[in-house]
Each structure stands twice: as C-alpha cells, then as structure tokens.
Structure 1
Amino acid sequence: MSLLRHTSTIAGFTIISRIFGFIRDILLARVLGAGLAGDAYQLAFTLPNTFRRLFAEGAFSVAFVPMYSRRLAGENGEDEAAKFANDVLSVFIWILLAFSGLAMLAMPGIVWLLASEFQSVPGKFDLAVFLSRVTFPYLFFISLVAMLTGLLNARSKFAPGAIAPILFNIVLIGGIGAGYYWRGGSDDDRLVVYALSAAVSLSGLAQLLYLWWEVRRAGLSFKLQMPKFTPEVKQLGMVILPATFGAGIYQISQFVDTFFATSLPQGSLTLLKMADRLNQMPLGIVGIALGTAILPMLSRHIQSEDHQRAQDLQADAFEMATLLTLPAAAALAICAPAFTNAFFVGGKFTMQDGAIMAQITAALVAGLPAYVIVKILNPGFFARSDTKTPVYTALISLIFNIILNVFAVRPWGIVGLAGATAASASLNCLLLYAVLHKRGWFHFTGALGARIGRQLLATAIMSALLWWLMSWMLPYFSDDILTRIAALAILVGGGMAVYFAAGYMVGALDRDRVNRLLRRNRAAANNS
C-alpha cells in the first residue's frame, strides 16, 4: 500500500470536511460577528478541542497505534491485538469519565485562568463558563472516536477516520441554523451560542456512533469489562505520560495564546480563531493526512529494521508536504484580504473585522510549512517509542513563544501574537530535524534540497502573479456574489495554474518518483 494512496484517501475526505468547516465559519462570522457571545463561544470550543488534541489525537494516538500495530503484525496478531484493545478500552473509558466530570466541576476556575479579563464585561465570564460545560462532553466522545480510528488506521483503513469530521461540521452547521432560527428577530446572540454549544457535544456522539459502526463492519468487536491494569496497559501508560507532556506543551502554547488574546480588545479571540481556521485548512489536508498515513507504515519499517525504506518514506512525505504547503502559505499571505472580504465580511462581521483577520492570517501562515513538517518529523520519534525528545523541543519552543508574546503583543497586538506562534513552530521544526539527523534516523539529502529549491522558485513565480492580481482586483471581492465568485476563480485558478506549470518546467517534483508512486497506487488498487 503506497503513501500516496493513503494520503490521497485521507486528504480527499479532509478536503470535504474543510469545505464544510469553511461554510460553518462563514455562517458563524456573519451570524455572531466578533463580539461578546462570539468570544465566549470560542473559548468554550477551545477547551474540549485542545484537550482532544492533547489526549485523543496527541498522546494516546501516537502511543496506541504503534503498540497495536506491532501486536497485529505478531504471530497471534488478531487475538493479541483484540485483547490489547479491550484492556485499553476498559481503563480508558473510566479515565475519560473521571477527567470530564472533574473538569466540568472546576470550569469556573479553568475559565478564570484563561480569560480572567472576561470578568470586566458584564455577563461574559458566566456565559463562557456555562458554554464550556455544555461543550465539554465532546471530549469524552471524540477520545473514543480517536481510539476506534487508531484501530482502523493500523489496518490501513483510513477513510472512516477522515469522514468523521465531516459529520462534526454538518452537525455544527445545523446548530448555527437552529440558533439563528431561535434568535428570530431579536438581537440576543446568546441563543445562537446555546444551540451551537449543544451541537458540539452532539457532533461527538454522532462521530462515535459512526466509527463504532465502521469498526463492527471491519469485523472487530469489543467486550466491556472491569478495568485491569495489565502489563501492556501499564506499558502504554508509560509511553503516554511523556507523550502527554510533549503534546501538552504544544497545547499549553495554545492556552498561552488564548490568555494573551483575551487580554486584548473584545473580539480579538474570535478573530484569531477565525484566522487560524484558514491556516488549518491546508494544515489539515496535508499535514494531518501525511502524519496519519506515515505513522503505522513507519512503525512497520522500523520493526522490520528496514532503515532505508523508513528514510525514503519520510523523504517522500517531506517532499509532498513542501510541494503543497509552500505555495499555500504564500497564497494565503498575499490573498488573505480577498478571502476575508469575499467570504466573511457581511452580517455582523464588519469590514474592520475582515481587515484585522487578514493581517492575523498573513502572520499565522508564515509558520504553515513548519506546522506541517512537524507532523512528518514527530512520527520518526513516536514509531521508535521515543516520546521524550518531542517534549524537550516543544518545551524550548513554548518558552520562546512566551518570550515573544511578552514583547510582541504590546506593540503589535493580536497580529504580533500570531507572528510569535509561527516563529515558535518554526523553531520546533528545526530542533526536531536536528535531533533526527544527529541520531541518523532521517537526513536531508542533496536531491531533496534541490527539489525544494525548485518548489521555492515556482512559489516565487506564483506569488508575483498573485501580487499583481491583488493590486487591481481587491475591490471586486466586496462586490455582489457573482462578482466575488468570478474574482476568486481568477485568483485561485490563475495561481494554481502558474504554480504547477512553473513547478513542472523547473522540476519541482521528481517526475519519475511520481510515476512510480502512481503505478504502485494503481497496482494496489487492482489487487484490493
């Protein structure tokens, strides 16, 4: 099974999910704008989402998938893997329940730590606490979804895990619609965020039911039993603990950004989260897809001591990542005013909000290649059960981020905060690669460097075109809907055509390697 096939499967469904997510954010911006209710909801959404990345998609997944994959590839593969999964589930479910319950009880203190400035606006702090309690059950559901996704990923079934977020966005769009209808002709935005927060938790339940059905379809079953701390479960815990600190440091960085954003003028948190959604679109399509596909494959190569194939796998992933993220970062930075005006400005989202959001987006995407490459470099450690090294690199990056925030937020506000986030992500990327290279686990070859240099040349050619187009097309992005669509089609279509044409002419990607990957992909499809 090829990396290209797995990545294409994940990326294809992720694109659909991101489109629905984009629609969700457009509706949210226009219905709520950047105000009191919007900030309270963004904080309430951030809490379970951050812990999801910490526990479910962070520490748990990177520890569970390699251990499950090794048992699946063993002599009594199916039986050993099933026993391991049942033992883990019996403990995991109680830990999730306990943590979720305690967090909901402690929610006033958690919100105060992150957003004490909300108390200066009447009703804002209490609303944030209430909404956070409503959204937090999402963590329980989505953590179980992550485990079920891991079982399927280990069997090279990547589609269900990539489809689940589509359900998430569909349910949230329904929540926005319900809240808008409930609000009616009034101006009470609380009614919208009540419905939307309830939809967050409901979306987690919908994803869990879908993944459970997919797991049963794959012939897997679970036996709910009394929790037992078997040696295998203890071993998983010993791997998860440092991985939690590693992922936790990154999430603490997100909390630090939230803390600084809530200390800025009202609406800053909403604008930061909206801009980050634009940044997350290519990150989710490319970075998460590659990182998800590479981990079980890399684990198998390392388990069989095939170090050359492990090197080649990461090199291919690195090349695919830069091929797509370098132009995406440049295009988003240059075209951010076009995207914010065309999609978000309207209703309660003002032109001034759009202008600030565009500046935040441009600062954030400076770190987009680094965000994606980290997703590729981390599996090089996780597949070898080394979860400590990413802790140290993330800690250094966190300290660097805090220092930058202290100095950047005062003069440059929310845009300075976004720039500090991008700079710290780039530092983390460099540190991870330096360690991999020093240990001989992955090295940057001259051929890879030459192709990335050609990708940069193609990106520069595309950027020149986009800069020229933006100089005279910007007014059209605030015109009627048909004019906006036409202007965006010219901008996006022209940029893509020039980039790939330039990339083809300068050899930005090894054409022989692409042909080999495609042939392998077709052969795998014919044999399946």
Structure 2
Amino acid sequence: MLKKILSVSGFTLLSRLTGFARDIVLAAVLGAGALMDAFSVALRLPNHFRTIFGEGAVNQAYIPAFTKVRERSGNAASMQFSDRVFTLNLIVQLALLGLALPFMPELVRLLAPGFSGDPERFALAVTLTRITFPYLLFITLVTLLSSNLNAVDRFAAAAAAPILLNICLIAALGVAFLFPSAAHAAAWGVAVAGVLEWLLLWGAARRAGVSAALTRPRIDGDVRGFLKAFGPAVIGSAGVQIALFADTIIASLLPAGGYSALYYAERLYQLPIGVIAIGVGTVLLPTMSRAVAAGDEPRAERAQNRAIALTLVAAAPFAAAFLVLPEMIVAALFERGRFDASASAAAGSVLFAYAVGLPAIVLIRSQVASFLSRGDTMTPMLVSLGAIAVNVGLKLLLWRDHGAPGLALATAAGAWINLGALHVLALRRGWTSPDRAMPLLILIVGLSAGIAATVARLVAGPVGRALAGFPYEPRLIAVGVICLLAATVYAVIALGALRAARLWRLLR
C-alpha cells in the first residue's frame, strides 16, 4: 500500500511543483488584478463542474461498482459496464457543453455577480470561460479512465496527467504575444491541456486493457446500481462545490485582487491535499473496496488506520508552516513582477485561515472511504450538505468584516464539521475501528509539529536578515533554509518518538 501511495504522491508532488512554476509565471505576468481575477473565474468554473461530475461523483460511485462487478463476474463484464458508463457520461457532458457555451454570460453573471459592475472584466471573464469550458468534457473522460486504472492498481498515469496542464499553461504564457492578452493565452493553454490529458490516459488504459469505448447505451442491473449510487454522490459533490461557488460569488464582490488572494493561497494549501490526501485516498478506496467485497473487514480496517496515520504524519508540517510563516511563504514564491508586497500580505492572511482546517481537509478522504467502499454514497452526501450549510452561513457572516480570509476560515470550519460527523457515524455503524494507539500518535505528531513550528518562527527573522543582501531570490532561499531546518527537527522528534513508543507498525 505504501509503495502505491508513494507512486501517486510522487507524481502528484511533481504536478504541484510544476503547478508552482505555473503560478509563479501567472503571478509575474498577470499579477493580482483584473486580468488574473477574470482568468481565475474562467479556470474555476469548469473545475467546479469537473469536481461534481468527475473526480467527486464518478470516483465515489464508480470505483466500488466497477470493483464489485470485476470481483463477481470477471474482467469482460467489468469492461462492458465501463463502456456503458463511459457512453452515458459522454452524452451528459456534450449536452452540458452545448447548454453552457451560448448561455455563458448568464452563467458568469450568476456565479460572479460582482463582475457585472465592471463591463470590461465581465466581458473578459465570459470570453475566457468559453475557451476553457471544453476542458470539462475531456477531463471527465480522463477521470473515468483514471478510475479504471486505479481499480487495477495502475496509478502513475492518472497522477501524472495534471502535469500537462501546468506545462501547457507555462508554454501558452511563453507565446502570449500571439494572443489578444496573456489571459487569453492562459485560457487556450487550459483547453489544449484537456485534450492532451485525455490522450495520455487513453493510451495508458489501452495498454492496461481497461480502456473504455463507445457502445450502445443500455441501463442494465449493474448500471442501475451505479446510477443509484451516483445520484447521491453528485449531490454530495455538488454540496462541496456550493461552498466554492459561494467563494466565487462573494469574492467577486470584493475589491479587485480579493479573488486573486484566494487563488494563490488555495494553490499553496492544495499542495498537501494533492500530494497526501488525494494520494492516500486514491489508493485507499480500491483497497478497502476489495477487502469489503471479499468479506475481510479486518484488512479494510488495517488499511484505513495505516492511511490515517500516514496522512497525519505527512500533513502536520504543512499545517504548522502555513500557520507560522504564511506571508513569508507567499512572498518567497510569488512576489515578483506585478505581484507586490500588498498582494503577499493579502494571500498570506488567507493561507493562515485555510491552515486552520487543513488537518480536517486531508483526513476527510480517509474517513469517507468507510462509506464509499460499502457502496453508501447517501451518508457522505447528507453529511456534506450539512457541513456546507454551516460553511456558507459563516461565509455570509464573515466576508464583509474579514474579506477573503473570512471565506477561507468558513471553509476550515465546514471541513472540521464534515470530518467529525463522518467519524461519529462510521463508529456507530461499526465501519471504522481506530487503532488503540492512534491518540498517542496524534499527540506525538502534534507536539513534534509544534516544536518544529516554534523553531521556524524563531529563526525566520535572523535568517531573513542574513540573506537580505543576497542577489538571487533571498526570500526564497530564506524560506527554503527555514523549512529544511524545521522539517529536520520534526522528522527527528516525530519519527524517534513513534519508534520509541512502538507505533512504527501503524506506518509500515
């Protein structure tokens, strides 16, 4: 299991690193003003729908169903099932694209109403979103092929695919002089990336013998079972997106640059989510699904405990860093070109607020696997909707006085409510069984991260001053030195204490 997680996390880390390079270029070229606000909307809208229909609902409902058919009836039956779902998915996405393109002004006005008061920014957002929206069609097909590969323990291609988006965006910005604006170039980079990601996953799935093909639509018993689970999964995924839609709507009402502050802070806190939470969740769900399908509940419980332990150990340093050095980290990575010190301060305060909820956010995937591996998509849906109701309510209360950081803090609160409710319900049903040593592991990890954060805070000032005259990106060097020192302190204390307490078995 650890080898598979490292495979996914390794490619995801490479994706996030190239993503940082992409965002550094975006910050230098587009800055944190109207151009970046418009492009952020154009990128976020198709991503909202992708998460609803693709990564969220398909992964939650499809992988357990595909695994069940494969275990029960063999490979041929599972591929027939895959072809039928693929065909239905393509029909739905073509219909959605056909509706969205002509009504894009209404869609942008609905989801970013603050742009309506700025005709130039509104028109640019509509144009850019029309360019990026076809990305949704290709990426949902990519998600289904990724699910097929994950179900047969092939994780590398799906984890590597997002790297193409980053490369395409950087390349497009490199030839921005060929387009009406750099924002137009970035939007076309997104559209091209969708095609390339689909080609990559189609080739990988074909080599693995699990590629999906068009077939005559037919809703048999297996497809009906999938659709029955898919409906609640869509609503649950839509519930999460409602909170993000609320961010989009409310952030559009903030002064210029508020939306960009959310974007850049989100890019940083998404690093541990992508590398750790998604990596662990991608491997855990098919692992637990196979164990449950085989009636081996102890194996499912061991896999889940191992996933939770790995997630906690790996994510704690990120939460600590974002809490003690948020503005310094943002400035080191993005403050150049049109991205100035005020933009760093704004994004840093948002990053701090996001960090409050980071432990909960990275653990949700491991906890929701208790339900999805057993084919229960209804309970996560209801829990998600309840948490989102609190989340959106807090956003409406906080945004006027606290701006973008208030929106991020509401997201953090919603994540903790979601995680707590899932854990309590799984315990009551007997679908999760935390290891007896888990509280001690949490204590060790928390104390180790706290000590490392204290060290980072103490040396941040002196290191920054010592490198102030260095000619090559002194802030980036300072953050690198501080993070390396703090990571070493954390690793020595945490791993040493875990080994001394005989808790290493939870990580093996």
Answer whether TM exceeds 0.5 for this pair: yes
Task: Give the 3-state SS of the residue equivalent to 1:347 in structure 2.
Answer: coil
Aligned partners of 1:137 and 1:158: how far apart in 2?
25
Residue 368 (structure 2) aligns with: 378
Whole-angstrom distance in 2 between the partners of 1:472 and 1:266:
34
Contact 1:342–1:477 (Cα < 8 Å) also in 2:
no
Measure the CA separation in 2 of the matches of 1:505 and 1:242.
Answer: 44
Query: After the TM superposition, which of the residue ranges 237-246 and 485-494 deviates more from structure 2?
Result: 485-494
Contact persistence 1:342–1:478 (CA under 8 A): no
Is structure 2 residue 303 aligned with structure 1 residue 313? yes
- Offset of 1:90 from its aligned partner? 2.0
Give the distance between the partners of 1:248 and 1:314, measured in 2 at CA: 25
Cα offset, 1:191, TM superposition: 0.9
> Aligned partners of 2:77 and 2:504: how far apart in 1?
41
Deviations, residues 283-304 of structure 1 (Å, cap 9, x unaligned): 1000000110001110011111
1:168 aligns with 2:165: yes
| CA deviation after TM superposition for structure 1 residue 481, in Å | 2.1
Q: After TM superposition, list the pairs within 5 Å mapping 1:315-394 onto structure 2.
A: 315-394=305-384
- 2:440 is aligned with 1:450: yes
Aligned partner of 2:51 in structure 1 is: 53
Q: Show the counterpart of 2:15.
A: 17
Aligned with 2:144 (options 144, 147, 150): 147
1:204 Cα offset (Å): 0.7
- What's the offset of the Cα at 1:464? 0.9
**Residues 203-214 of structure 1: matches in 2 within 5 Å?**
203-214=193-204
Q: How big is each residue's C-alpha offset from its partner over 1:257-287, in whole Å with a ceiling of 9 and x where there is no partner? A: 1111111111111110110000000110000
Q: Does 2:70 align with 1:79?
A: no
Aligned to 1:233: 223
Check the 8 A contact 2:278/2:365 in 1, yes or no. yes
Partner of 2:493: 502
Q: Are the structure 2 counterparts of residues 222 and 316 from structure 1 closer, same or farther at C-alpha, using a change threshold of 3 Å?
A: closer
Q: Give structure 1 stretches of 5+ with no counterpart.
A: 184-189, 518-528
Bigger Cα displacement from structure 2, 503-512 vs 411-420:
503-512
CA distance in 1, matches of 2:290, 2:446: 33
Q: Which amino acid aligns with 2:302?
A: D
| Alignment partners' CA distance in 2, 1:303 and 1:81 | 15
Number of equivalenced pairs: 506
Whether 2:101 is the aligned partner of 1:109: answer no
Pair 1:413–1:82, CA change in 2 (3 A): same
Q: CA deviation at 1:235?
A: 2.0
Contact 1:69/1:154, CA 8 A, preserved across alignment: yes
Amino acid at match of 1:167: L
Out of 194, 197, 200, the position equivalent to 2:187 is 197
* Deviations 1:451-479 (CA, angstroms, capped at 9, x unpaired): 11111111111011011012333454796
> Counterpart of 1:277?
267
Residue 526 (structure 1) aligns with = none
Aligned amino acid, residue 12 of structure 1: G
In 2, are the aligned partners of 1:454 and 1:503 still within 8 Å (CA)?
A: yes
- Provide the C-alpha distance between the structure 1 equivalents of 2:37 and 2:149, rounded to a whole number of angstroms: 36
| Distance in 1, Cα, partners of 2:469 & 2:278 | 33
The CA deviation at 1:64 is 1.0
Gaps of 5+ in 2: none
Q: Does 1:486 align with 2:483?
A: no
Which letter maps to 2:101? M
Secondary structure class of the residue paired with 1:481: coil
Runs of 4+ in 1 over 6 A off after TM superposition: none
* CA–CA distance in structure 2, aligned partners of residues 483 and 369 of structure 1: 30
Matching of residues 358-437 of structure 1 within 5 Å? 358-437=348-427
Distance in 2, matches of 1:199 and 1:504, equals 43
Deviations 1:312-364 (A, max 9, x none): 11111111111111221011221222222212111111110011111111111
Taking structure 1 as reference, are residues 241 and 332 closer, same or farther at Cα in structure 2, changes over 3 Å only? Answer: same
Which sits farther off after the overlay, 322-331 or 133-142?
A: 322-331
Q: Which moved more, 1:224-233 or 1:90-99?
A: 224-233
**Per-residue Cα deviation, 1:383-433 (whole angstroms, up to 9, x for no partner):** 111111111111111111122112211211111111111111111111111
Give distance in 1, aligned partners of 2:392 and 2:400.
Answer: 13
Task: Please provide the CA RMSD for this pair.
Answer: 1.7
Tell me by how many angstroms 1:444 deviates: 3.0
State whether structure 2 residue 97 is matched by structure 1 residue 100: yes
SS at match of 1:229: coil
Conserved 8 A contact 1:341-1:477: no
Identical-residue share of aligned pairs (%): 34
Moved more, 239-248 or 445-454: 445-454
Contact 2:309/2:506 (CA < 8 Å) preserved in 1? no
Q: Shift in Å at residue 512 of structure 1?
A: 4.2
Report the Cα offset of residue 219 of structure 1.
Answer: 2.8
